Each structure stands twice: as structure tokens, then as C-alpha cells.
Structure 1
Amino acid sequence: MSELPTVAAFDVDGTITTRDCVVPFMRRIAGARRIVPRLGLRPDRLIPVVAGRDRDRLKALAAAAAFRGRRYDDLCAAGATFADMVHERWLRSDTLEILQRHRDEGDRTVLVSASFEVYLRPLASLLGVDDVLATRLDVRDGVVTGGLDGPNCRGPEKVVRLHEWLGDRSAVRVVAYGDSAGDREMLADADEAHWVTRDGTAA
């Protein structure tokens, strides 16, 4: 039997980049002066989320505060500019070498991230990555509603999205890279998993 084709799945924030990208992007779009007051308008929603450490719900509330009512085309343009900056300043050279090695070997590559798709797609194009599975914004009539289109792409959702994208999971060998608790399920599901530390990758 021939060896199965390999798919390399990469988390982004802290794995490919040197830092978180979500908060800087929201600040770039709306500014902290707008986001914080909007979050404070609904303490009945915010306080239980913070108290319960519900990261997914907190992200949804922050995204609504930052993006609601904005034209999606404008947000895409801002996302492309942000991706250029990330590509120029915030990438990890060690992980990029691993990504390039997978590409050189003909493996399919995919970003699987809780970061927003609106800037990860242009970043993936810059990196030569085949596809992106990330957190999506809900858009109606060209305007961002403030909601998310589907769950935050974190934890178990990463596995769900990756399996949907792969189709037949048994037909490929998955090599996964991640650096945080939100990647544990994807790493556990992979045929070969690498925990990415600040000093490099650890199998």
C-alpha cells in the first residue's frame, strides 16, 4: 500500500506568528475607546461571560463591539493590509521553515485558527498555504451583523472543521502544529503532533 498523502495543519497565533493577532486587529478597526464602552453597555451579558471565563462568548461579544455595522468589503481591505503587516513583522522563522519544508515535499497545508478569516486568507496567500479554516464573521447584504458565522474555531471546533475540510479523514496523514490549550484536540486527533514552544517545536 502506498503511503498516505500528508496534510500539515497549523495553528496561527503563537505557532506561525510571534504573538496574538485577534486583539490588535480589533483595535486597528475600532480602537479600544470604542470597543470597551460597547462591551460595557450590556453588563448583564458581559459579567457572566467574564466570571465564567467563557473565551468563546467573550470573543463573540468583542467582535460585535468592533465590527457590527461595517461594510465587509472595507473589512476585507483592512484585513489584507493587516496581513501584510503580520507577514512583515510577526512571523516565526522556525515555523516558517517547517511550513516551507511541507510545501517542498508536496504536502497540502492549511491554517486552522481561532483568528479571523478576514485577515488569515490574505496571510495564507502570502505564505503559499492551500486553505484557511478560521473564525468567520456573519455578513448580510454586505454588512457585518456583529455575530459569528458558526462557532469560534477553537478547541473541538478545530477538529470538526478540519474533518469537514478533509472529507475522508482516513485517506490522509495529518501532521498538526499548535501552541495552546485551544489546539489540544487538534493535536490529539493528528497522526503526528508537534507542540510549538517559544524556543521551537517539541514532538
Structure 2
Amino acid sequence: MPKTPADPLPVVAAFDVDGTLTTRDCVTPFLLRATGVRLALALARHPLPVLRALARRDRDALKAVACTAFAGMAGSSLDELGARFAQDVEARHLRPDTRARLRRHRELGHTVILASASLDPYLEPLGASLGVDAIVCTRLERAPDGRFTGRLVGPNCRAAEKTRRVEEWLAANGLADAELWAYGASPSDRELLARADRPIWVGREPLEPFV
């Protein structure tokens, strides 16, 4: 049945993760825990791209090089490590205020998604534990045998790319006209906050609960 003008729009709440839902960055700690010395070797094998990325402050290029450290790793072992990492993040590094906001959106029947440059091996289990409806994030490419190739699936999911992917997800799920709430805490969230009907900047001060 088509909606009448009196019908409320569906609500989608999109949460950034690093610094918004969590108290710290997650990508670098996961890289270090998952790859160890492989990360140093990966950076050493690509000195010019690393130097260029550092000189230009190009986080996307630096991340692409760093993720080559995952090349050849078995999917099952990295998924297991990601699940343990997600448990640690949920137990020790979630902000109480934004977690409460996420929980309240779910109680109100809103669609909740994570929209993040964080990596899927730990973001998928974290999202499942938090009960979100979907995850829009940076994904590691897997070969047909399940091993990681060391490449990303598409660009890093931040800034304009994050907004593009969220809009793509909304359209694919019949939610292009939904009222979009967006939570973000860094300059790379500004595009999504500008797109949102209800942008919420997450700063140092705790967010007020809402009913």
C-alpha cells in the first residue's frame, strides 16, 4: 500500500565506528594484532608508496599498502581472530553514550547500520553482537580458496565514498526516502553528516539520551 502524506517516514540510523561508537581507533590495533611482523615487512616492500602517502597525508593509500600484510592469510583464522578482537572492543572500548543511542534506535524499530572505514573481519561480528541491520565498511578481498589477497574490495569506506555506499545501500533496500540519522566523530564523517536529515556530531562530551 502506498504511503499517505500522514505516514511517518522510516528512520535509518547510521553509526560511524572508530571514535564514534568506540573510544579509540580499531584499524591499527587489529592490523598489529593480526599481522605482527608481516605489517612491517609489507610497508618495507613498498617504500615509495608509503613515503608518498605519508607526504600527502593520504590515509587511503597508506591503508591499502598496510592491508597487503593480509595476503595469503587463511580466511578462517583471520575471521576467528576478528571475532575475538570484536569481543574485546565490545567489552572494553565502546562509548556508553553512543551504545545507548544505538540500543534506543533499535528499541524504536529504526533500521540501524554501521558505516565505517573499519575492516570486515571484526566489524561483522561486532555488528552482529550489537544487533545492527547492516554493515557498510572497508572489506578485504578473498580469493576463491578463502584466503585473503591483500587487496581491498573497492576504495576505503570513508568520506565521500562512505556517503556513496550508504546511499547505495539505502536505495537497494527501498529506503532512499528514509529519515537518515548519522553519527560521526571525525572530519571523514562530514560528508555523511551533511547528507543526513539528523546529523549528530560525537565529541568528547557524552551525548544526551533521547526517548
- The answer (yes or no) to whether the contact 1:154–1:182 under 8 Å persists in 2 is yes
Secondary structure of the residue aligned to 2:14 is: strand
CA positional deviation for 1:41:
2.1
Within the candidate set 150, 153, 157, 2:154 is matched to 150
Q: Deviations over 1:144-181 (max 9, x none)?
A: 11110111000001111111111155420000000001
**Matched residue, 2:85:** 82
**Matched residue, 2:131:** 128
**Matched residue, 2:26:** 21
Going by fraction, where is strand more abundant, 1 or 2?
1
Aligned length in residues? 200
- In structure 2, distance between residues paired with 1:170 and 1:42: 41
Alignment pair present for 1:188 and 2:184 = no
Q: Deviations over 1:14-43 (max 9, x none)?
A: 100110000111111111x33123212221
- In structure 2, distance between residues paired with 1:200 and 1:16: 11
Within the candidate set 173, 187, 192, 2:179 is matched to 173
Deviating above 6 A after TM superposition, structure 1's stretches of 4 or more consecutive aligned residues are none
- In structure 1, distance between residues paired with 2:176 and 2:136: 19
- In structure 2, distance between residues paired with 1:201 and 1:178: 12
- The answer (yes or no) to whether the contact 2:46–2:65 under 8 Å persists in 1 is no
RMSD: 1.3
Uncovered stretches (5+) of structure 2, i.e. residues with no partner: none
The residue type paired with residue 101 of structure 1 is R
- The answer (yes or no) to whether the contact 1:194–1:201 under 8 Å persists in 2 is no
**Matched residue, 2:203:** 197
- In structure 2, distance between residues paired with 1:125 and 1:42: 35
Secondary structure of the residue aligned to 1:113 is: strand
**Matched residue, 1:34:** 38
Secondary structure of the residue aligned to 2:13 is: strand
**Matched residue, 2:118:** 115
TM-score by length of 1: 0.95
Secondary structure of the residue aligned to 1:160 is: helix
Uncovered stretches (5+) of structure 1, i.e. residues with no partner: none
Alignment pair present for 1:12 and 2:20 = no
- The answer (yes or no) to whether the contact 1:124–1:132 under 8 Å persists in 2 is yes
Within the candidate set 142, 152, 164, 1:139 is matched to 142
- In structure 1, distance between residues paired with 2:130 and 2:31: 22
The residue type paired with residue 95 of structure 1 is T
Alignment pair present for 1:103 and 2:106 = yes
Secondary structure of the residue aligned to 1:171 is: coil
CA positional deviation for 1:199:
1.3
Secondary structure of the residue aligned to 1:133 is: strand
